[in-house]
Structure 1
Amino acid sequence: MELQGDDGRIRTGTVWTATAHAITATIGSGVLALPWSVAQLGWIIGPFVLIFFSFVTYYTATLLCDCYRSPDPVNGRRNYTYIGAVRACLGAREVVVCSTLQCAILWGTMVGYTITAATSMATVKRSHCFHDKGHDAKCDASGILFLVIFGVIEIILSQFPNMEKVTLLSVIAAAMSFVYSFISSYLCIEKFVSHPKLRGGLFNLEMSKGVTASTKAFHYFQALGNIAFAYTYCMLLLEIQDTLKSLPPENKTMKRATMFSVSITTIFYVTLGCMGYLAFGNDAPGNILTGFYEPFWLVDTANLSVIIHLIAAYQVFAQPIYSIQEKWLALKWPNKGFFNNVYTWRLPCTKGPKFQFTLAKLFLRPAFVIFTTFVAMMFPFFNAIVGLLGAMSFFPLTVYFPLTMYIVQAKIKRGSFKWKAMQSLSMVCLVVTLISGVGSIADIVNHLKHAGLFKIEL
């Protein structure tokens, strides 16, 4: 059933489509780094941090749901985007900072997804090589071809008109995330059962061979960023909420979708993170799937699921950037046909759906994908990028802006117990962001000393 909203736009989204979008935006490349992250933190702090970040994400996301409309969360004016909510609640001065951060994180995630998808493609190739020639064979995989293939696919998908029209992609991506999460957990369980031994330590303070104390500390900090990144999706929450029907109220529906998505992802994260650590101990790889080559068909299935997931999830992160870019250009040059004239095309001799586009959409979106792919070629290392993205996005977009907007909209009295509790949570998350950022930057600097152009790390 389609309902026309108070702004004249028809929205068809439900709690299930919103849950699919949220799972697609949340479960992605970050989940593959969780065993490595738990391995850096140990059995006590690792699972605690996984659960802590899930509660923080759920709490701040529910507050953000009430900011879709303002000043009243049910009958107020719609804020179609995260940036729109910041403008309505906090004013124009905060918009510049928020829009810069949001676009940077969304784009950085697209870079990370490009690297991860190419890594999975390379892993499939190596898996077949080892299966055919033996595990001692030299099975190198150059990344340039896989990066280009992924980029070409995203150029085609970039012509989807908006977030609501990529719902099918989100459903497919959510299904694929379950597939590779289940397979990864199974492979870790099977590896542990075949060699049963309690691996790892309570706090993992042991120094591995060749690892200095400073490197150990940086890895510890980076692991916090990896886990934070794995839960991050608040910067897309309001864009997802804008696809929902008006009845029941959007904030109630989105809160249910958030509860479902965060609960599901937390179960997967804790299971995979802990089982990966149990299977590999301190030797857990940065991308857990790169640690397996047999049974090759099952490993291939997991990696293919990752690839399909990331192909779809890329568009969920890209659509808000496309929308911001195209709206800004249309307003900047209102009389330029390149940005404003809408053309309609339909396959000849058919009655299929019409394809509407502007020349800006037709050419600028592919150009943006090409640029993103090129940057991924320049930084072809996975784990350090994930940690830095988590560090950059967690505090400002997942914690600070949602808390601050809610305080303003709900008129939380300064100095009250609730206000103090929110500020304390904000400060804790700021510290996490700062130290995880330091660890990730240090790791990136180290990788830059050894990384080769177009050479993906496995």
Structure 2
Amino acid sequence: MGGDERRSMEVEMGENGSMTQFRRDDDLDDDGRTKRAGTVWTASAHIITAVVGSGVLSLAWAMAQLGWVAGPVTLVLFSAITFYTSSLLADCYRTSDPICGKRNYTYIDAVKSNLGRTHFWLCGLCQYVNLFGTAIGYTITASISAAAVHKSNCFHEKGHEADCSVSDSMYMVAFGIVQIFLSQLPNFHQLWWLSTVAAVMSIAYSTIAVGLSLARTISGGTGRTTITGTEVGVDVDAAQKVWMTFQALGDIAFAYSYSMLLIEIQDTLKSPPAENKVMKKASFIGVSTTTAFYMLCGCLGYAAFGNGAPGNILTGFGFYEPYWLVDLANVCIVVHLVGAYQVFSQPLFAAFETWIVKSFPTNKMLTREHRLIANKRFGFSVNLLRLLWRTVFVGATTLLAILLPFFNDVLGFLGAVGFWPLTVYFPIEMYIRQKKVKKLTSKWVALQTLSFVCFLVSLAAACGSIEGVMESLKSYVPFKTRS
């Protein structure tokens, strides 16, 4: 029967006369897993969801620290570096051969296949610490936006002199409760719809921020801008200028942090065409789309507010009029971050659960699925390990967000920690190993120079963000933060 036999659904008569069906081979991919259905558009949606996050809100502030020359140039450079190293990383999804080699399902699998066990452990530490930190950052940002909606409506109803302050902690807890429910989705492949909604939301609030900045710029009343950004002796002292410049680099780096998820996103793609080619197209669409928004948000936000640009651009428009438009933008932020939290957390969920199951292979309680919804289009089941571990994870990120609610400082530190190792170092080292680039050749020197420069940038950004957190802690009282 040949091909017909392979493609057909096999049916056998059992000993008791029952009919037994077997899955079609063409329902499976070359690794025996269920056929992947992702396309360049779903991958682009995942990327936009991961990239256009809370980082976009701090870009006007970052531009204010860097000025009209260094600010746009830095944005373009980070964009180019991110796209280039993402292209290198896309070729590492399959080991040896980018078309028919063995699949690497996660970022750290790719590192282990190409660089060995030591790099595997280092990469795992960097990736999972960064994913955990990003979940904290998203919890902080979502709560600030939710509180902004409350304040806006309160001022509109009770007047501008009313006391409309509200506890951020309450909204962090509410955000955490929502994430506990969403985190029970079994795997990353079921998140395509959440990523699509989140991508639309991210574009929506970025567009609103651009529109409000443009309106403020046209109508006048803008802040003072300069070629070099904040001025020593006028806006800040010399030490503050240095630390804030470093922190601005971290904020921009955070705005482009998605490489740690690239392999996981690529693993959702169907083939043919080859996954690496589709992923490069998706990376180009995702990075170019977000860079356009970043440039508009950063430049127009700086033009609107000048050197006094707020850390979160949407809070700078006040809580007055047009209150409904600012409300809409903040609601979009919350919805987007609900999805982005899951996109960033699912790889960490999967890694821990895989490790536990391998450690206790005979424990059926860890693997048994309890079906709650049985539907052809959407099925939902609960697993004891998933329920307990993911609930603890969400609870921990929520608690730490309440304890460290420093928006710009946290984003800058996360960007610094994740940018060099995950976006630059590991992709370059894997490319060198895979393509067998010889030492001291012009290509090797160029790649290592790029890696070293990015390391210095990450180190400076980390120092600036740590200094910012230390300054904030001097006047901070835990559990008392109010917006």
TM-score by length of 2: 0.91
Larger deviation, residues 35-44 vs 140-149: 140-149
Residue of structure 2 equivalent to 1:299 = 326
Give unpaired runs (5+ residues) of structure 1.
Answer: none
Per-residue CA deviation, residues 333-370 of structure 1 (Å, 9 max, x unaligned), is 112233223333336xx877442332101221112111
In the alignment, residue 469 of structure 2 is paired with which amino acid?
A: I
* Cα drift, residue 449 of structure 1: 1.2
Larger deviation, residues 371-380 vs 447-456: 447-456
**1:437 paired to 2:462:** yes
Residue of structure 1 equivalent to 2:197 = 172
Task: Choose from 67, 78, 101 the match for 2:126.
Answer: 101
* Cα drift, residue 457 of structure 1: 6.4
Residue of structure 2 equivalent to 1:328 = 355
Residue of structure 2 equivalent to 1:91 = 116
Task: Choose from 283, 287, 311 the match for 2:338.
Answer: 311
Q: Distance in 1 between matches of 2:309 and 2:250?
A: 17
Q: Which secondary structure state, in structure 1, belongs to the residue aligned with residue 474 of structure 2? A: helix
Q: Which secondary structure state, in structure 2, belongs to the residue aligned with residue 450 of structure 1? A: coil
Which runs of structure 2 are paired with 1:254-273 in the superposition (5 Å)? 254-273=279-298
Which runs of structure 2 are paired with 1:115-194 in the superposition (5 Å)? 115-194=140-219
C-alpha change, 1:23 and 1:353, in structure 2 (3 Å) is closer
Residue of structure 1 equivalent to 2:32 = 8
C-alpha change, 1:182 and 1:257, in structure 2 (3 Å) is same
In the alignment, residue 465 of structure 2 is paired with which amino acid?
A: S
Q: Distance in 2 between matches of 1:376 and 1:181?
A: 24
Per-residue CA deviation, residues 115-146 of structure 1 (Å, 9 max, x unaligned), is 00000011111111222233343321111210
Q: Distance in 2 between matches of 1:299 and 1:111?
A: 24
Q: Is the 8 A contact 2:266 2:279 kept in 1?
A: yes
Per-residue CA deviation, residues 311-352 of structure 1 (Å, 9 max, x unaligned), is 0110001100110010011111112233223333336xx877
C-alpha change, 1:145 and 1:92, in structure 2 (3 Å) is same
Task: Choose from 22, 25, 28 the match for 2:50.
Answer: 25
**1:396 paired to 2:433:** no
Q: Distance in 2 between matches of 1:7 and 1:447?
A: 50
In the alignment, residue 30 of structure 2 is paired with which amino acid?
A: D
The Cα RMSD (Å) is: 1.6
In the alignment, residue 339 of structure 1 is paired with which amino acid?
A: L
Q: Which secondary structure state, in structure 1, belongs to the residue aligned with residue 287 of structure 2? A: helix
In the alignment, residue 31 of structure 2 is paired with which amino acid?
A: D
C-alpha change, 1:206 and 1:245, in structure 2 (3 Å) is same
C-alpha change, 1:263 and 1:100, in structure 2 (3 Å) is same
Q: Is the 8 A contact 1:380 1:457 kept in 2?
A: no
Per-residue CA deviation, residues 39-86 of structure 1 (Å, 9 max, x unaligned), is 000111001000000000000000000000011111111011000000
Q: Which has the larger radius of gyration?
A: 2
C-alpha change, 1:216 and 1:12, in structure 2 (3 Å) is same
Per-residue CA deviation, residues 219-278 of structure 1 (Å, 9 max, x unaligned), is 110000000110110000000000000210000000000000000000000000000000
Residue of structure 1 equivalent to 2:3 = none
Q: Is the 8 A contact 1:34 1:269 kept in 2?
A: yes
Q: Distance in 1 between matches of 2:96 and 2:194?
A: 33
**1:207 paired to 2:242:** no
Which runs of structure 2 are paired with 1:391-430 in the superposition (5 Å)? 391-430=416-455
Q: Distance in 2 between matches of 1:408 and 1:352?
A: 43
In the alignment, residue 296 of structure 1 is paired with which amino acid?
A: Y
Q: Which runs of 4+ in 1 moved over 6 A?
A: none
In the alignment, residue 358 of structure 2 is paired with which amino acid?
A: L
In the alignment, residue 354 of structure 2 is paired with which amino acid?
A: K
Q: Is the 8 A contact 1:3 1:246 kept in 2?
A: no
Q: Distance in 2 between matches of 1:165 and 1:236?
A: 15
Per-residue CA deviation, residues 371-392 of structure 1 (Å, 9 max, x unaligned), is 1101110001101000000000
In the alignment, residue 254 of structure 1 is paired with which amino acid?
A: M
* Cα drift, residue 403 of structure 1: 0.4
C-alpha change, 1:328 and 1:277, in structure 2 (3 Å) is same
Q: Is the 8 A contact 2:230 2:307 kept in 1?
A: no
Residue of structure 1 equivalent to 2:136 = 111
Per-residue CA deviation, residues 298-318 of structure 1 (Å, 9 max, x unaligned), is 000000000000001100011
* Cα drift, residue 214 of structure 1: 1.2
Q: Is the 8 A contact 1:11 1:243 kept in 2?
A: yes
Matched-pair identity in %: 49
Q: How many residues align?
A: 455
In the alignment, residue 349 of structure 2 is paired with which amino acid?
A: Y
Residue of structure 1 equivalent to 2:388 = 363
TM-score by length of 1: 0.96
In the alignment, residue 174 of structure 2 is paired with which amino acid?
A: I
* Cα drift, residue 215 of structure 1: 1.7
Residue of structure 1 equivalent to 2:402 = 377
In the alignment, residue 441 of structure 2 is paired with which amino acid?
A: S
C-alpha change, 1:198 and 1:361, in structure 2 (3 Å) is closer
Give unpaired runs (5+ residues) of structure 2.
Answer: 1-25
**1:278 paired to 2:303:** yes
**1:249 paired to 2:295:** no
In the alignment, residue 308 of structure 2 is paired with which amino acid?
A: D
Q: Distance in 2 between matches of 1:244 and 1:167?
A: 11
Q: Which secondary structure state, in structure 1, belongs to the residue aligned with residue 32 of structure 2? A: coil
Residue of structure 2 equivalent to 1:59 = 84
Q: Distance in 1 between matches of 2:361 and 2:29?
A: 27
Q: Distance in 2 between matches of 1:157 and 1:246?
A: 29
